[in-house]
Structure 1
Amino acid sequence: MTELGLAITPKEVITRFTGLSHAQLGRPLPADYRQRSTLELARRLEGVKPIEGVHAQLGQLTGPRCVCSNSRSMRLQLSLTSTGLWEHFRPHVFSAPEVGRSKPAPDVFLHAAKVFGVEPRKVLVIEDSAHGVSGAVEAGMRVIGFTGGGHTWPGHAEDLKRAGATQVVPRLSDVAAAVEEFRA
């Protein structure tokens, strides 16, 4: 975006666009923008690292699980494979734009519940974006907000709570305990 003359900081990108499938910039982008940004994103995702401790944390969580994202399937497979997480979730990796409307619409969450044959009210979502929290709440699901990723900002936890997260955890190590509280 900087190359296009858009004065926007990484922090501003995170706060304005996290959880959205595309940016609303108020002006048209060049015709080759999507192709160029897709190639650059793929290049960067090849080196992405998982949040420390995620594999151990997933080992503590029992029961069915999936990924519901606004990203496209290709991007999801690339990032989950790069982090070693693909095997923890496949084949239950759902792309919102490929199953319905993108978050904050509830479509991807409702799709996942249908695939698993579970009533939405029995689903617990761990979500790091306010748009995702809103979508899961609209689907009738319970939500734990997560602010332990690399894209957090001051006020992030409050944004997740305002969107409907019942609880917000700042560290990955807190997720299993929060899930157990919901189960109880």
Structure 2
Amino acid sequence: MGHPQLLIFDCDGVLIDSEIIAAKVQCELLGEEGIEIDAGEIAARFAGLTWPTIVERLGEETGRRFSAAFMKRVDEEIDRRLATEAEEIAGAHEMLDRLEMARCICSNSTAHRLELELDHVGLWDRFRPYVFSAVDVGKAKPAPDVFLHALSVFGVPADRAIVLEDSVHGVAGARAAGCRVVGFTGAGHSYPGHADALTEAGAETVIKRLADFPALVEVLAAWQDA
């Protein structure tokens, strides 16, 4: 393994505290459809998955079918709330100030949502044009497609990329792509056992403060050089 050359960030739950907002919207509107599930359970079970995948799994469990109109309504309400309520994870800007390595975002969110929420918290210009949506490049996480796309764009071998992920599905996708992965548990949707779940999914270590990430990148580089 060589020295790291690329840092890959998930967006929701890593840079922006948005997973809990989406989970609350989904909880509220699913409740109107007669599906009783709380936001904590949605966050713990489904964080990092696309809304169509979540609905598919809930449909398999409940035998319910959800209309295209309902799906659209949930997406639009999430976008509306993210545009006004989303906040950066504490220390995101300061962390980026300390990192000089090439970086990008790999997310399961749509390109529209990514630009909307990143611009709202002042992070869009710190990553564009390297903001990649799995929706646009292939299968969503836990498939490795979006990570493989990023590696191809930057021309970086997988073992020289470090990914920061908050979901087991994201960790699984990054590991399937051959990347090294650090888990993150510092967002509002974190739950008991979150760190253990990320480790079991393949994260080498887990942090709960973005301020710790730059030093950790240096440590991981030293481990590679050892």
Q: TM-score, normalised by structure 1?
A: 0.97
- Percent identical among aligned pairs is 51
Query: Where does structure 1 differ by over 4 angstroms across 4 or more consecutive aligned residues?
Result: none
Q: Give the structure 1 partner of residue 20 of structure 2.
A: none
In the alignment, structure 1 residue 30 sits paired with structure 2 residue 75: no
Q: Give the structure 1 partner of residue 158 of structure 2.
A: 120
Q: Which runs of 5+ in 2 are unaligned?
A: 1-29
| Larger relative contact order (Cα-Cα within 8 Å, sequence gap ≥ 6) | 2
Q: Give the structure 2 partner of residue 166 of structure 1.
A: 204
- CA deviations 1:140-161 (Å, max 9, x no partner) are 1100101111110001100100
In the alignment, structure 1 residue 10 sits paired with structure 2 residue 39: yes
Deviation at 1:31, TM superposition (A): 3.0
Across the two proteins, how many residue pairs are aligned to each other?
Answer: 184
Q: Which runs of 5+ in 1 are unaligned?
A: none
Which residue of 79, 83, 93 corresponds with 1:42? 79
Letter in 2 for 1:178: L
Q: Judge which range, 30-39 or 48-57, deviates more.
A: 30-39
> Matched residue of 1:7: which SS?
coil
Distance 1:25 1:181 in 2: 41
Deviation at 1:30, TM superposition (A): 2.5
Q: Give the structure 1 partner of residue 105 of structure 2.
A: 67
Q: Is the 8 A contact 2:171 2:183 kept in 1?
A: yes
> Matched residue of 1:133: which SS?
helix
In the alignment, structure 1 residue 88 sits paired with structure 2 residue 117: no
Q: Judge which range, 15-24 or 103-112, deviates more.
A: 15-24
- Superposition RMSD on alpha carbons, in Å? 0.9
> Matched residue of 2:31: which SS?
coil
Which residue of 168, 191, 195 corresponds with 1:130? 168
> Matched residue of 1:2: which SS?
helix
Distance 1:170 1:14 in 2: 17
Which residue of 48, 53, 59 corresponds with 2:91? 53
- CA deviations 1:27-65 (Å, max 9, x no partner) are 211231122112201110112111122101111011111
Distance 2:137 2:90 in 1: 30
- CA deviations 1:109-129 (Å, max 9, x no partner) are 000000001011111101111
Distance 2:97 2:187 in 1: 19
Which residue of 145, 148, 163 corresponds with 1:107? 145
